[in-house]
Structure 1
Amino acid sequence: MKDNEYLNMFFAEAKEYIEVLNNGILTLENNSEDKETIDAIFRAAHSLKGMAAAMGFENLTELTHKLENSLDKIREGKISVKTEFIDLLFQALDNIQYLVKAVEDNGGEEPEDFDIDVLVAELIAYTENSPIESKSKAQKSSEDLEDFLTDSEKEALLDKKKDKERVYQIKAEIVEEEFKSVRAFMLLKKLDEIGQLFKSNPTKDEIENSELDICELNIIALSWLDSEEFKTELEAQQSVNLINLEELQNSQLEINQESTAKKADSKKTGVSSFNSSSTVRVDISKLDTLMNMVGELLINKSRLESLNIKKTKFTEIMPQLDRVTMDLHHIVMQIRMVPVGVMFSRFPRMMRDLSNKMNKEINFVMTGQETELDRSIIDELADPLTHLLRNAIDHGIEKPAQRKANGKDEEGQIELTAYQKGSEIIIEVKDDGAGIEAAAISKKAVAKGIVEEEEIQQMEKRDILDFIFHPGFSTAQEITDVSGRGVGMDIVRSTVKKLDGQISINSEPGKGSTFKITLPLTLAISQALMVKILGDIFAIPLNSVSETLTIEPQNIKKIRGMDVIVLRETTIPIVSAASIFGNEKQKTFKNSAKDLSVVILKSGERKVGLVVEQLLNQQEIVIKSLGKYLQDTRYISGATIIGDGDVALIIDVRDVVSK
């Protein structure tokens, strides 16, 4: 059994490197000349191999080593990047991911029955039998230089170059099997003796401070020696084979504007490498504990405030305590917030594989990856989004021939978008596919006995579309291994609801569908409006409150037997909070002798006026779960402790609005 501390560190870092590899290989498929991406994924593979070797995982080390070799051949320009090679790289990455997961599940031991020989043989066969198409020496040299030197480095090189100095690009191979780092370092030292080293790959520091398996060096150097003398000096170096030596002209170092534009485009889809930074890795359970402690601090601060002590010392301390508590809460919230891009990054690979499997052309676009959400919500949201995206590609997007016949582009568009709106995060899955026929949903719902024919005639389109989320509901004409069994969509809704969010559908037949998920920024601490109902205090999440108002009973109208008010030319139904929570006699308002306090609640596109006994105040609350025995209690989503130590129930606005 290996040390748990090192194992946990290995698993965390391995998953990050696998993510870099996944994104990088996807980028490489679309832009095989992206030097930055190639370098990033090579470093990720190299680091992963080193970690696996250090932990003693033999199969994982062997597989990552072969993956690293393949990527190194790409980096050196020795093999061409084709679709079949990308598939092979992904196959290797899938096996690496499986091995990491298996080791984690087995308590730090590799599975004994896992065979990697066939895959390793395929990787070796491809890298040996698929050389890159030959190019002219001048063309290849120019491309190598464009890849190796940035525009700013070219400018710096021209500034540094003196009148009589020459600029050389050197490619050298270390031929000795042992002490390669030493031989490489001696070569760079020699260059500083006969001129000046400008740039090398690997760098001087990397060679000096690591045990890299160095095969080739790419170098830019300045020297006063002519090319023959310079070459003679280098060839005299022991165990160094000079592959190529070229004197660069000033014209080659001038900035190519077209190349600059291409590099800028490639960076948009490139992947980031793991560099050392001023961050530390913290277990999520520790953040949960810290959040709970901040919650307890907030509760006790509220209780202190409710004591209403008039002593001078107390009144001086309370504002300071309030400020420190709020600052601490804000910092803890920031620590828990994670960009949704962490979760989004797993989807491009999935969409690529599904589109190939189903013979559909898909342009998958992601925006808003920088939008931040509480880590606990992000962990739960991955599966629902996976279901929505799989459905979009399976049910939503048509086959290319069908799209062409319908006057559409053969390539379907699927968009995954995240953005913040007030104190809520919106995540949308949108496609330009076939859309959803409300009539087909109605027919299926009646056939399954979910709703009566007469009732469905009175329902709005959005309510009919909501039947998609009913357990076992599916309109698929054929069952595939992607979707169509009527499972998944009910899980999507229940998971989103568990996260105190809501999901809605907007669809137009022939034009496409949009699934919109609305979520709170965090599940732990929230702003709430405190109200009194039947003598007890309740909390209403502030992000679900549109406004509050006082109305006279005579302004209440009746439409189809429902009480409504007209607010700024909008008809809004109103319900009695007292009748919801136990007093059936307070269903009507006409006989009320006093004005009514109303909270206008919003959920999605709907609004409802909730009549309460009294509006109290707005305050920050710590949300507590009701536990598994009470979690499905209608109209209640949780509880909180208020200033006097009593428990206040939190109203589930979605249930009230859908009443």
Structure 2
Amino acid sequence: MSEAHVRAFVRESEEGITELNNSLLALESDPDDSEAMDAIFRTAHTLKGNAAAMGFGDFSGLAHAMEDLLDEVRGGDMAVSGALMDRLFEAVDLLDAMLGEIDESGDTSIDPTGVEDDLRVLAEEGADALDAENGDGASEASDDVTESDAGDSDDNTAADPGGADGGADDGGDDAVAVDPEFDHDLSPGDDEGIYRARVDLGGADMPGIDAMFVLEAVEDGFGGLSCDPDREAIEEGEFDDTFDLYVVADAGATLEAGVDAVSQVESVDVDAVDPAPGDDATADASDDATVDTGDDAGDDASDDAGDTDPEATDGEASEASAAADAGDGDDGDDDGDSSSDSGSGGGGGSNTSSSDNISSVRVDVEQLDDLYGLVEQLVTSRIKLRREMEEADIDSDNLDELDKISTNLQDTVMDMRLIPLSAVVDTFPRLVRDLARDQSKDVNFDIDGRDIELDRTILTEIRDPLVHILRNAVDHGIESPEEREAAGKDPTGTIELRADRERDHVTIVVEDDGGGIEADALREKAVEEGVKSRGEVEAMSDAEARELVFHPGFSTNDEVTDVSGRGVGMDVVRTTVKDLDGSVSLDSTPGEGTRFEIKLPVTVAIVRVMFIEVDGVEYGVPIKNIAEVSRADGIDVAHGDEIVRHDGEIYPVLRLGEVLDTAGAAGAAGGADDALADGGNDDADSRNHDAGDGDGMLLRIHDEKRPVALHCDNVLHQEEVVVKPLEGILSGIPGLSGTAVLGDGDVVSILDVETLGGRR
């Protein structure tokens, strides 16, 4: 099997395991949720079939055992309980681990026999087996479960809308007549009939996988389906060259066109078992269809199909092809509606629509990153070209057109990198559930804003900080049911994760209704651990004391557990968020709960920068950080410090000529380039200023970033640039976040307004 097939199997199975986790959580919270039960069966069935077709028998067998056990639950023979769900989640975790090995090496060495046997014993013996602790007994009991018994509750109950059992032994030999007594168990509508399609896949390398594409296309595009041999056998490739599909359709020509459009199909013969009213194309052949299925009948149907409106046939073919290639259930529903509408009325003409085309493709992330790198180079080259033309006093409309095209391309590539938050947060309900169960706590976890999109890089990096916050909420925040009841609260705690987008920023809030954070407790712990002195903590406000949770190595837990107590976690949150050019804040009310708010940019790297001059050196400040630019007049002195006033608020003045002298010295000591090392002026007299001298310019920074006004010599220009973060020994220089290469080749340092002057 090819690497591409394995990669496709892994990616689809990863999505299936996430869906399985979430559906099991829904069933655990509401055992009567029939939609969750149906979703579990569909997902487990798909995982089982895909794995069997790929030859991963252990993976398929474990998924099959889950399906059999859940059939007992659905039938009312076993109640949903915490112990039962623990066994099912254990099986899902094992599937996930096996999938990880398959992704890395193309195969798995994990033996799921023990877990699989436990599930089969539960299915066999019911709830009484949940108390059994003897693993040997489980293995012995599982020997009595034959493969045929395990398959009784398989495809026809979970996925086959017709619910028919397979009939013929061979089911695919063209020389063998179809059994007239085959029970397809299909019920067509008033304007529909039942047709048999004999499908030939040719010499397929992986017949089971190819057959699955055909089954999905037919199931999505038509009103009912039954298989001969049964669906499980077809999906596992257990047929001789061909297999038969019994389908509810409005015309034989419609069915033939839809199946023939699937790329894996080499040929298809369609005969009418019970033709639809007015379907003259197959009515003449219907009398013989249930007795003889020779090639002549199929050819007649094919020839007659060619006499119908070609637009209708082509449209149906495109729909079935798109459904098969996309393999998406939602899209399939739309295709099914279109197929039914366009085929009604005995094969009348229909116009093609947007659903005829494949609407999305999968692209390897490395290719996407390569494309993004090329766009960055294009932006830099465009800047260089404009500067050269300005220096040569050349004005060209072509350059303006290039600006417009490259900007649109840049925006498109940025959008391509955006991924819904659901790619990360959909795994969190299981995380919260397991943590709460381990600590004997009851927690409701709600997520809002799954569709909010973030850059792939940001989304990847933000997962761990969110995990740390959620673990903190369950461990430190939510109290035990007894404590909550004693405090007059609902014994079940609540944790909410909400995301919202405002222009170029996304805000993620994690809030719980737990016990909150006691500022005094943090003060005492800080003194005890030597993080702060007694005088320092007593001078802190409650809000400042709560910020101590972000201090490296700080923990309020006296005991080290699997969840917390090692002094890591919240420090990682702030560090990671800051590295992503974001911010994190904390608000807590003792006895009522805690709220973490994370603000992140939607995208990274290409930003609009305002360039300024300080002591003859050019620096950049991201435009998004600047609230106002003004002349440096009206500077006052308060308590020996320079300030400016704006709308009744006071902003300290930070003279970059002095601050960057310190940053430059640090950069020079660490091996920084000239652009960093030359940022200051050694003339001590230059640091003496008279308040209100009016020289230079002031950049007032947004309050949420840092309530300060930066003083510079001159404001030069604005430009969109590619910002490269500092790496290695340069990454820790306070006040500097990265560098940008300008059109003339100069490297300019980009300032980090939050850490200027050594502030952190």
Asked if Structure 1 and Structure 2 have the same fold, meaning a TM-score greater than 0.5 normalized by the shorter chain, the answer is yes
Query: 2:517–2:590: 8 Å Cα contact kept in structure 1?
Result: yes
Q: Given the superposition, is the C-alpha separation of residues 621 and 78 from structure 1 closer, same or farther in structure 2, using an over 3 Å criterion?
A: farther
Query: 2:166–2:228: 8 Å Cα contact kept in structure 1?
Result: no
Residue identity matched to 2:635: N
Query: 2:736–2:756: 8 Å Cα contact kept in structure 1?
Result: no
Residue 213 in structure 1 maps to residue 232 in structure 2:
yes
Encode CA deviations 1:191-219: one digit per residue, 9 max, x unaligned.
5699956999996665469962289x999
Query: 1:361–1:412: 8 Å Cα contact kept in structure 2?
Result: yes
Q: Given the superposition, is the C-alpha separation of residues 403 and 580 from structure 1 closer, same or farther in structure 2, using an over 3 Å criterion?
A: same
Residue identity matched to 2:56: F
Residue identity matched to 1:370: D
Match of 1:567 among 646, 650, 674: 646
Task: Report the Cα offset of residue 83 of structure 1.
Answer: 3.5
1-structure distance, mates of 2:722, 2:60? 47
Q: Structure 1 residues 318-327 or 584-593, which shifts more?
A: 584-593
Q: Which residue of 1 aligns with 2:442?
A: 361
Residue identity matched to 1:321: L
Q: Which residue of 1 aligns with 2:581?
A: 500
Task: Report the Cα offset of residue 383 of structure 1.
Answer: 1.2
Q: Which residue of 2 aligns with 1:555?
A: 635
Residue identity matched to 2:46: S
Residue identity matched to 1:118: G
Query: 2:614–2:713: 8 Å Cα contact kept in structure 1?
Result: yes
Q: Given the superposition, is the C-alpha separation of residues 653 and 312 from structure 1 closer, same or farther in structure 2, using an over 3 Å criterion?
A: closer
Q: Given the superposition, is the C-alpha separation of residues 172 and 399 from structure 1 closer, same or farther in structure 2, using an over 3 Å criterion?
A: closer
Encode CA deviations 1:23-65: one digit per residue, 9 max, x unaligned.
1211222344444443433332222223322332222121122
Q: Given the superposition, is the C-alpha separation of residues 403 and 189 from structure 1 closer, same or farther in structure 2, using an over 3 Å criterion?
A: closer
The 5 A counterparts of 1:418-497 are 418-497=499-578
Q: Which residue of 2 aligns with 1:415?
A: 496
Query: 1:527–1:619: 8 Å Cα contact kept in structure 2?
Result: yes
Q: Which residue of 1 aligns with 2:702?
A: 602
Residue identity matched to 2:12: E
- Give the CA RMSD over aligned residues: 3.7
Query: 1:548–1:600: 8 Å Cα contact kept in structure 2?
Result: yes
Residue 531 in structure 1 maps to residue 612 in structure 2:
yes
Residue identity matched to 1:610: L
1-structure distance, mates of 2:566, 2:190? 73
2-structure distance, mates of 1:486, 1:185? 72
Q: Which residue of 2 aligns with 1:116?
A: 112
1-structure distance, mates of 2:393, 2:225? 63
Q: Which residue of 2 aligns with 1:41?
A: 40
2-structure distance, mates of 1:567, 1:464? 28
Q: Which residue of 2 aligns with 1:261?
A: none
Encode CA deviations 1:458-504: one digit per residue, 9 max, x unaligned.
33434332222222211124333221221222222222222222222
Query: 2:626–2:702: 8 Å Cα contact kept in structure 1?
Result: yes
Task: Report the Cα offset of residue 341 of structure 1.
Answer: 1.4
2-structure distance, mates of 1:534, 1:355? 58
The 5 A counterparts of 1:172-187 are 173-174=164-165, 176=167, 178=169, 187=183
Q: Percent identity?
A: 33
Q: Given the superposition, is the C-alpha separation of residues 193 and 474 from structure 1 closer, same or farther in structure 2, using an over 3 Å criterion?
A: closer
Where 2:415 maps in the other structure, the secondary structure is helix
Residue 623 in structure 1 maps to residue 723 in structure 2:
yes
1-structure distance, mates of 2:189, 2:329? 33
Query: 1:28–1:37: 8 Å Cα contact kept in structure 2?
Result: yes
1-structure distance, mates of 2:194, 2:565? 60
Task: Report the Cα offset of residue 402 of structure 1.
Answer: 1.2
Residue identity matched to 2:47: L
Where 2:567 maps in the other structure, the secondary structure is coil
Q: Given the superposition, is the C-alpha separation of residues 534 and 558 from structure 1 closer, same or farther in structure 2, using an over 3 Å criterion?
A: same
Residue 27 in structure 1 maps to residue 26 in structure 2:
yes
Query: 2:225–2:247: 8 Å Cα contact kept in structure 1?
Result: no
Q: Given the superposition, is the C-alpha separation of residues 28 and 214 from structure 1 closer, same or farther in structure 2, using an over 3 Å criterion?
A: farther
TM-score, normalised via structure 1 length:
0.78
Q: Which residue of 2 aligns with 1:581?
A: 660
The 5 A counterparts of 1:70-219 are 70-71=69-70, 80-105=79-104, 107-111=105-109, 114-130=110-126, 173-174=164-165, 176=167, 178=169, 187-188=183-184, 206-207=225-226, 212-213=231-232
Q: Given the superposition, is the C-alpha separation of residues 204 and 24 from structure 1 closer, same or farther in structure 2, using an over 3 Å criterion?
A: same
Where 2:102 maps in the other structure, the secondary structure is helix
Query: 2:166–2:229: 8 Å Cα contact kept in structure 1?
Result: no
Residue identity matched to 1:300: S
2-structure distance, mates of 1:190, 1:594? 88
Q: Given the superposition, is the C-alpha separation of residues 201 and 36 from structure 1 closer, same or farther in structure 2, using an over 3 Å criterion?
A: farther
Query: 2:635–2:692: 8 Å Cα contact kept in structure 1?
Result: no
Unaligned runs of 5+ in 1: 132-147, 149-169, 224-236, 239-271
Q: Which has the higher contact order (CA 8 A, sep 6+)?
A: 1
Residue 511 in structure 1 maps to residue 592 in structure 2:
yes
Q: Which residue of 1 aligns with 2:301?
A: none
Query: 2:162–2:185: 8 Å Cα contact kept in structure 1?
Result: no
2-structure distance, mates of 1:210, 1:634? 70
Task: Report the Cα offset of residue 329 of structure 1.
Answer: 0.6
Q: Which residue of 2 aligns with 1:340?
A: 421
Q: Given the superposition, is the C-alpha separation of residues 454 and 327 from structure 1 closer, same or farther in structure 2, using an over 3 Å criterion?
A: same
Residue identity matched to 1:110: T
TM-score, normalised via structure 2 length:
0.68
2-structure distance, mates of 1:625, 1:121? 53
Task: Report the Cα offset of residue 357 of structure 1.
Answer: 1.5
Where 2:101 maps in the other structure, the secondary structure is helix
2-structure distance, mates of 1:533, 1:171? 77
Where 1:12 maps in the other structure, the secondary structure is helix
Query: 2:740–2:748: 8 Å Cα contact kept in structure 1?
Result: yes
Where 2:444 maps in the other structure, the secondary structure is strand
Q: Which residue of 2 aligns with 1:143?
A: none
Task: Report the Cα offset of residue 116 of structure 1.
Answer: 2.0
Task: Report the Cα offset of residue 362 of structure 1.
Answer: 1.1
Q: Given the superposition, is the C-alpha separation of residues 299 and 201 from structure 1 closer, same or farther in structure 2, using an over 3 Å criterion?
A: closer
1-structure distance, mates of 2:730, 2:394? 43
Unaligned runs of 5+ in 2: 128-156, 173-177, 196-217, 235-244, 251-273, 275-289, 292-327, 333-357, 662-680
Residue identity matched to 1:601: I
Q: Which residue of 2 aligns with 1:61?
A: 60
Task: Report the Cα offset of residue 351 of structure 1.
Answer: 0.8
Q: Which has a greater percent of strand?
A: 1
Residue identity matched to 2:530: G
2-structure distance, mates of 1:574, 1:12? 53
Q: Given the superposition, is the C-alpha separation of residues 75 and 212 from structure 1 closer, same or farther in structure 2, using an over 3 Å criterion?
A: farther
Residue identity matched to 1:365: D
Residue 646 in structure 1 maps to residue 746 in structure 2:
yes
Count of aligned positions: 569
Query: 1:416–1:427: 8 Å Cα contact kept in structure 2?
Result: yes
Q: Given the superposition, is the C-alpha separation of residues 403 and 51 from structure 1 closer, same or farther in structure 2, using an over 3 Å criterion?
A: same
Task: Report the Cα offset of residue 371 of structure 1.
Answer: 1.0
Task: Report the Cα offset of residue 174 of structure 1.
Answer: 2.2
Q: Given the superposition, is the C-alpha separation of residues 191 and 373 from structure 1 closer, same or farther in structure 2, using an over 3 Å criterion?
A: closer
1-structure distance, mates of 2:602, 2:466? 17
The 5 A counterparts of 1:290-305 are 290-305=371-386
Q: Which residue of 2 aligns with 1:386?
A: 467
Residue identity matched to 2:638: K
1-structure distance, mates of 2:461, 2:189? 59
Q: Structure 1 residues 464-473 or 279-288, which shifts more?
A: 464-473
Residue identity matched to 1:615: V
Query: 1:295–1:622: 8 Å Cα contact kept in structure 2?
Result: yes
1-structure distance, mates of 2:180, 2:5? 32
Encode CA deviations 1:512-532: one digit per residue, 9 max, x unaligned.
111222211122212222222
